[in-house]
A and B are shown apart, each in its own frame.
Chain A
């Protein structure tokens, strides 16, 4: 078949479609967003009636995927690494219950934090839950692993965690696709309730099943074509390269490896191959993007057994993503650069777009809180987090989805006044609604600004679950209608905006203000 140019994300999406996918359930998050977007735009997916609408958050997404799998169909759930924290309750317990139709969960990790608040390595989640994992080294492998992964998931009866990193997600290469498979029919399991009702009596049995299955998972890894052993003559050093790190290693050995190399693409770690490498080499170098996941397991806490080098002993940087130069240095070779970056080159941080409604919100807010020097503004995850940077410097926090509202509540209860939150529309329906209910129930003295641009903007303008619903949601939660205010954030409304913010700061109780104006990026796109 002809090669097609695919982002890692797109290769995953196309492979899932080709493998007989029936539904993808996701919440947008860089660098995972393009997987679901690709399926949404695919004519073939449309023809096959593949469900692909965005979900409210990663937890609802993963649970819905489980429902589809329960009914026997193949399903995909995609999220960024921190999204799996939101879905963790579902994730850990799906591993207990197991699945029916094949299920793959994509975690797109972001080492170096290009667009994230941490660089957690979700391979730990895979181990934590005790399920098999894939980690592709290139786009073709990403395609093949997903395509075959559904068969494996169904054969084992468990979901597969598919771990990629930003480079894999957002790097393009030619990919050869495979034959289109039929979708599964609805096929319910007999006695499914014994799996899916995790009452202690069932859960204890399911946990023993999961523990017993570990041997099968290991055997699959040891026989996997994605875990490959390369013989080498120089046995002073053996090298383990996981996922995309293998590419950086190969870059430095264009004519083949001199050292024995174990390429890892499937977990649990293949014991047989690892033992062979350790037995025949004096020292082991571990190359992995993210945390020292393999290195730590190999080395042990005290590090008194096998001699292992990597991120823990300073051979490689402990934080940040790998690249060919860091790997080259770790191999003891020289990195040559001919030109120095001149000192005149200035940082160019991202900024709110010219004409963005969040700008007007922050301008009005900053103006009002000048009169309240003790004011604290807690914020959230989205474009409006850029209100942290000059010229606004308007916010105090950005921790996780929804934390603006709950932090404002806690700070208010500690005595901070005025205590405000700025959260976006999509983030509000993702994880802000429950926090607002807490505020209402406690009659907290907070001002919550839900800056509504009618889209999930930071990730590129995906549909927001909140569009057209924010007022009804707030009213339903119990916000007093008199203190549920709104305005259109525009320069010409500046006085009105300031007046409303000031009035609600003065009100002792829960206030919600909804500035609403469409994102200028999505507006531009519609006009085109």
Chain B
């Protein structure tokens, strides 16, 4: 069983935290994993991505080959499309619907949705809105992870443990907020 995940977003949106939680959960589950991430210059408001590969056998390449991603998780709708050539034919896209507009020629929503229309498996969620409504406004990224959780081949409880490990340093309150966010995201797609 192998799951290739691409995480996408804009520098500062928190995709590396999502990657860290999934990575922790995978390792706790005794799985092999590799996770390539982008540091440095791009983190200043540029596009960032992370390749995350989880398997019950050792993983070779740190990067996912084209046409191989089982799922693209994106905190921004245009950023998911930037990596769409990596998606498997029957792969899933789970994305935030709210654009992050820090460039002058951001595409029109209609045109973007047209591109999404062609994809067989997608979940488009306004996680920013869900975050605000559920009182976890700083955890949009973890809500999105919750929404993607059914497609990761990782037990939900392991993701919860991942949150406890990764956010543990920041105190119980932050851990609780993020656990709540994870659940909220999961519920948003299972209803």
Binding site for B on A (CB under 8 A): 3, 5, 30-31, 33-34, 114-115, 167-168, 170-174, 244, 247-248, 250-251, 254, 323-325, 328, 335-342, 344-353, 383, 386, 390, 458-460
> Which one of B10, B32, B85 contacts A341 once the chains associate, using CB atoms below 8 Å?
B85
Cross-interface CB contact of B115 among A114, A244, A247, A344, cutoff 8 Å: A344
Pick from B37, B60, B107, B112: contact of A172, CB below 8 A: B37
B residues 10-30 with Cβ under 8 Å of A? 10-11, 19, 23-24, 27
7 A-B pairs besides A173-B35, A337-B86, A348-B79 with CB distance below 8 A are A30-B40, A167-B62, A250-B61, A324-B65, A337-B67, A350-B41, A458-B40
Smallest CB–CB gap between B166 and chain A, Å? 10
On whether the beta carbons of B62 and A114 are closer than 8 Å, the reply is: no
Cα separation A340 to B66 with both chains bound (whole Å): 11
Q: B60 touching A352 by the CB < 8 A rule?
A: no
Contact between A386 and B88, CB atoms less than 8 A apart = no
- The smallest beta-carbon distance between A117 and chain B, in angstroms, is 11
CA A15 – CA B189 in complex, angstroms? 43
Known: A5-B27, A248-B61, A338-B89. A344 touches B40 (CB 8 A): no
Number of A-B pairs whose CB atoms are under 8 Å? 152
Interface residues, chain B, CB within 8 Å of chain A? 10-11, 19, 23-24, 27, 32-47, 59-67, 78-79, 81-89, 102-108, 111-112, 115, 118-119
Asked whether, in the complex, the Cβ of A174 is within 8 Å of the Cβ of B27, the reply is: yes
B111: chain A residues at CB < 8 Å are 342, 344
18 sampled A-B residue pairs with Cβ under 8 A: A115-B39, A167-B62, A170-B39, A171-B37, A173-B35, A247-B60, A325-B65, A335-B66, A336-B67, A338-B85, A339-B119, A340-B85, A341-B81, A341-B83, A346-B78, A347-B103, A351-B45, A460-B43
Set B10, B33, B79, B87: member contacting A173, Cβ < 8 A: B33
**Chain A residues near B84 (CB-CB < 8 A):** 339-342
CA distance A114 to B43 in the complex (A): 11
Contact B36 A350 (CB under 8 A): no
The CA of A250 and the CA of B55, in the complex, are separated in Å by: 15
Counting from the closest, the 5 A-B pairs by CB-CB distance are: A30-B40, A115-B40, A350-B46, A251-B61, A344-B107
Q: Which chain A residues lie closer than 8 Å to B32 at the CB level? A: 173-174
B67 touches A173 (CB 8 A): no
The one of A31, A173, A324, A351 in contact with B44, judged by C-beta atoms closer than 8 angstroms, is A351
Chain A min CB distance to B127 (Å): 19
Minimum CB distance partner of B32 in chain A: A174
> Whole-angstrom distance between the alpha carbons of A262 and B160 in the complex?
43
User: Contact at A460–B119, with CB atoms within 8 Å?
Assistant: no
**Dominant SS among interface residues on chain A:** loop
B112 touches A324 (CB 8 A): no
C-alpha spacing A525/B116, complex, angstroms: 37
Question: What is the bound-complex CA distance between A348 and B89, given in angstroms?
Answer: 26
| Given A174-B32, A339-B118, A346 contacting B37 (CB threshold 8 A) | no
Measured between C-beta atoms, what is the minimum distance from B158 to chain A in Å? 14
Q: If the complex has contacts A251-B61, A338-B87, are A383 and B119 also in contact, measured as CB distance less than 8 A?
A: no
Whether the pair A114, B42 counts as a contact (CB closer than 8 A) is yes
Interface centre among A3, A342, A353 (most CB of B within 10 A): A342
Quick check: A171 and B34 within 8 Å, CB to CB? Answer: yes
Q: With A348-B46, A349-B46 as known contacts, state yes or no: A173 contacts B34, CB within 8 Å.
A: yes
**Pick from B39, B79, B81: contact of A30, CB under 8 Å:** B39
Q: Determine if B40 and A31 form an interchain contact, defined as CB atoms under 8 angstroms apart.
A: yes
Point out the residues of chain B lying under 8 angstroms from A173, CB to CB.
Answer: 32-35, 59, 62
Question: What residues of B have a CB within 8 angstroms of the CB of A34 in the complex?
Answer: 39
Of B63, B86, B119, the contact of A167 (CB 8 Å cutoff): B63
Checking A30, A324, A339 against B61 with a beta-carbon cut-off of 8 angstroms, the contacting residue is: A324
Q: Collect the chain A residues with CB atoms within 8 Å of residue B81's CB.
A: 341-342, 344-345
**A171-B36, A173-B35, A173-B59 known; A383+B65 contact, CB < 8 A:** no
Are B35 and A30 within 8 A (Cβ)?
no
Q: Which residues of B contact A458 (CB under 8 A)?
A: 40-41, 44
A250 to B53, CA, bound (A): 15
Q: Please, which residues of chain A bring their CB within 8 A of the CB of B67?
A: 335-338
User: Do B47 and A342 touch across chains, with their CB atoms under 8 A apart?
Assistant: no
Identity of the chain B residue whose Cβ is nearest the Cβ of A327 in the assembled complex:
B61
- In Å, the complex CA distance between A301 and B23 comes to 46
CB pair B41–A30 under 8 Å, yes or no, is yes
> Is A171 a contact partner of B35 (Cβ separation < 8 A)?
yes
> Which residue of B is nearest A336, CB measured?
B67
Q: Are A336 and B66 in contact (CB under 8 A)?
A: yes
Q: How distant is the Cα of A352 from the Cα of B102 in the complex, in angstroms?
A: 11
A232 to nearest B CB, angstroms?
17
CB pair B103–A328 under 8 Å, yes or no, is no
State the CA gap A416–B33 with chains docked (Å): 56
Q: Report the minimum CB–CB distance from A9 to chain B (whole Å).
A: 9
**CB < 8 Å: which of A5, A31, A250, A323 contacts B63?**
A323
In-complex Cβ contact of A114 among B38, B44, B107 (8 A): B38
**B41, B45, B83, B115: residue with the most chain A Cβ atoms closer than 10 Å:** B41
Q: Is the CB of B112 within 8 A of A339?
A: no
Rounded to whole Å, the gap between the CB of B86 and the closest CB of chain A is 8
Knowing A174-B32, A344-B111, A348-B47 are in contact, say whether A115-B62 is a contact too (CB < 8 A): no
Residue pair A351, B46 in contact (C-beta under 8 Å): yes
Residues of A near B60 (CB, < 8 A) are 247-248, 250-251, 254
Per the bound structure, the CA–CA distance linking A347 and B47 in Å amounts to 8
